[in-house]
């Protein structure tokens, strides 16, 4: 499908991997050749990192496209997509690069593949600077499926910073079209639940301390609801490396979902990790929107692809969401 080539400046707005994810997914879906320049130009290590590279290679493989300039550290790529096919595809960051970000770039594409897809995504399942896999399964999945598709996410192995080594298998059947969503009625909070985990050599007490600190923090603001945070020791055969973290979810009467999460780091005590997640959740509940700060940008691509007008009510619009909107608008212009 030869047509105009979309030119994207990778250094503006969020200026990072998100521009690549949104642009290449839409380029693939719309059959538009793409050039991205100045990739991550302002970052401390500019250019493509392993997780960006594996995401790009997966999109190329999904559609038998052509990809030039794709190597670690490269600041310019060109991508020429072909028809999206289904089947089994593997992407491996070989680092703790986030499997959730690999899913973000590939999910919109496989929804419109010629047949069902099975994606084997390898890297970090609970990584910094990205949604945790628990967020993807517990918050993103139920809300995204309101657009009228279903996917299955099987967590084979969890992997943590700095080693990675996690793997999830995502199965998706294609759809003819996406339906618009209307998420404007927030309702009231009906339940709060979560998961505090330790993996590897970390003692179980760390999970219990994170959970207890989070519950105490939430109690100060929300007194009338039972907060059910499970403490979990990840089974040895299902986790690679050492890690700890927590995710807390609030569900509302209209089916809205909000989350707060945090990952442990060396030298940071467990209480602090729990409190950080609780405070993030409470901040997301205070703003009165129907989606939390991490979901708003992830829904933009699906809103752009849906057959009609979607509405979501947000709190403050994040830079990631503004970036997703900007590039969705810019690329859709070529497709009129």
What digits encode the pLDDT tens for the residues 150-161?
999 999 999 999
Same domain for 319 and 283: no
- If one counts every other C-beta atom within 10 angstroms of the C-beta of residue 194, the result is 28
In a domain, 1, yes or no: no
Contact 330, 24 (CB under 8 A): no
* Tens digit of each residue's pLDDT, the chain (336 residues): 456 799 999 999 999 999 999 999 999 999 999 999 999 999 999 999 999 999 999 999 999 999 999 999 999 999 999 999 999 999 999 999 999 999 999 999 999 999 999 999 999 999 988 999 999 999 999 999 999 999 999 999 999 999 999 999 999 999 999 999 999 999 999 999 999 999 999 999 999 999 999 999 999 999 999 999 999 999 999 999 999 999 999 999 999 999 999 999 999 999 999 999 999 999 999 999 999 999 999 999 999 999 999 999 999 999 999 999 999 999 988 876
260 belongs to a structural domain: yes
**198, 262 Cβ separation under 8 angstroms:** no
Residue 32's pLDDT is 95
Token output for 57: 């290679």
124 and 159 Cβ atoms separated by less than 8 Å: yes
What is the residue range of 193's domain? 185-287
Same domain as 322, residue 254: no
In this structure, is residue 299 part of a structural domain? yes
- Annotated binding residue 322: no
pLDDT value, residue 2: 53
Residue 94 belongs to domain with CATH number? 3.65.10.20
Tokens 């404007």 appear where?
Answer: 184
Flag whether 226 is marked binding: no
Tell whether 21 is covered by a domain: yes
- According to DSSP, residue 4 is labeled P
Q: Is residue 155 part of a domain?
A: yes
Neighbours of 193 (CB within 10 A): 16
Which among 52, 89, 120, 320 is annotated as catalytic? Answer: 320
Is position 324 within any domain? yes
- Say if residue 297 carries a ligand binding annotation: yes
Distance between CA atoms of residues 321 and 319, nearest Å: 5
* Same domain flag for 306 and 178: yes
The CATH number of the domain holding residue 194 is 3.30.360.20
Is residue 294 annotated as involved in ligand binding?
A: yes
Is 156 found in the same domain as 44? yes
Q: What residues contact 336, with CB distance under 8 A and at least 6 apart? A: none
For 301-336, how does the pLDDT look when each residue is reduced to its tens digit (9 = 90+)? 999 999 999 999 999 999 999 999 999 999 988 876
The pair of three-digit structure tokens given for residue 119, joined into one six-digit string: 């994606």
Task: Enumerate the β-bridge partners of residue 262.
Answer: 246
Dist. CA 248–CA 98, nearest whole Å:
20
Whole-number pLDDT of residue 273: 98
Produce one character per residue of 204-232: b if its CB has 16 or more CB atoms within 10 Å, e if not.
eebbbbbbbbbbebbeeeeeeeebebebe
Look up 326 and say whether it is catalytic: no
Report how many domains make up the chain.
Answer: 2
pLDDT of residue 336: 61
Considering the domain architecture, whether residues 33 and 176 belong to the same structural domain is answered as yes
Verify that 67 and 18 share a domain, yes or no: yes
Residues 212 and 297 in one domain: no
Q: Whole-angstrom Cα distance, residue 150 to residue 170?
A: 11
Q: Report DSSP state, residue 197.
A: E
Whole-number Cα distances in Å, 115 to 23, 34, 63, 173, 301: 23, 24, 12, 7, 21
Q: Output the six-digit token pair for 126.
A: 């609970």
Nearest to 46 by CA among 9, 8, 13, 17: 17
Same domain, 193 and 175: no
Q: How far apart, in Å, are the Cα atoms of 215 and each of 36, 47, 67, 170, 265? A: 45, 41, 48, 32, 20
What is the value of pTM for the model shown? 0.96
Across 69-173, where does the E strand assignment appear? 77-80, 87-92, 117-123, 151-159, 166-172
Count CB neighbours of 120 within 10 A.
Answer: 18
- Residue 193 vs residues 126, 138, 222: alpha-carbon distances, Å: 18, 11, 13
pLDDT score recorded for residue 68: 98
**Residue 143 is assigned to a structural domain of this protein:** yes
């Amino acid at each position: 499908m030869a047509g105009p080539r979309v030119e994207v400046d990778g250094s503006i707005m969020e200026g990072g991997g998100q521009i690549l994810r949104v642009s290449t997914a839409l380029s693939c879906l719309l059959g538009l050749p793409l050039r991205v320049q100045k990739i991550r130009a302002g970052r401390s290590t500019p250019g493509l990192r392993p997780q960006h590279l594996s995401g790009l290679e997966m999109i190329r493989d999904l559609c038998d496209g052509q990809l030039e300039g794709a190597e670690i550290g490269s600041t310019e790529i060109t991508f020429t997509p072909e028809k999206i096919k289904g089947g089994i595809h593997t992407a491996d960051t070989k680092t703790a690069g986030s499997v959730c970000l690999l899913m973000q770039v590939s999910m919109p594409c496989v929804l419109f593949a010629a047949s069902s897809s099975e994606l084997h995504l390898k890297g970090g399942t609970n990584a910094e600077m990205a949604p945790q896999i628990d967020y993807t399964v517990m918050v993103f999945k139920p809300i995204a499926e309101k657009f009228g598709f279903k996917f299955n996410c099987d967590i084979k192995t969890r992997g943590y910073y700095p080693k990675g080594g996690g793997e999830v298998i995502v199965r998706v059947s294609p759809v003819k079209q996406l339906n618009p969503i209307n998420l404007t009625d927030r309702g009231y909070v009906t339940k709060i639940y979560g998961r505090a985990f330790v993996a590897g050599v970390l003692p179980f007490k760390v999970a219990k301390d994170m959970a207890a600190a989070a519950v105490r923090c939430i109690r100060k603001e929300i007194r009338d609801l039972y907060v059910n945070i499970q403490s979990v020791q990840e089974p040895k055969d299902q986790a690679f490396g050492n890690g700890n973290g927590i995710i807390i979810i609030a569900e509302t009467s209209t089916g809205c979902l909000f989350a707060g999460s945090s990952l442990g780091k060396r030298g940071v005590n467990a209480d602090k990790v729990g409190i950080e997640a609780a405070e993030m959740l409470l901040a997301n509940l205070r703003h009165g929107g129907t989606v939390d700060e991490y979901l708003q940008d992830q829904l933009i691509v699906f809103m752009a692809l849906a057959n009609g007008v979607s509405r979501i009510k947000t709190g403050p619009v994040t830079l990631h969401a503004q970036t997703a909107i900007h590039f969705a608008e810019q690329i859709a212009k070529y497709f009129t």
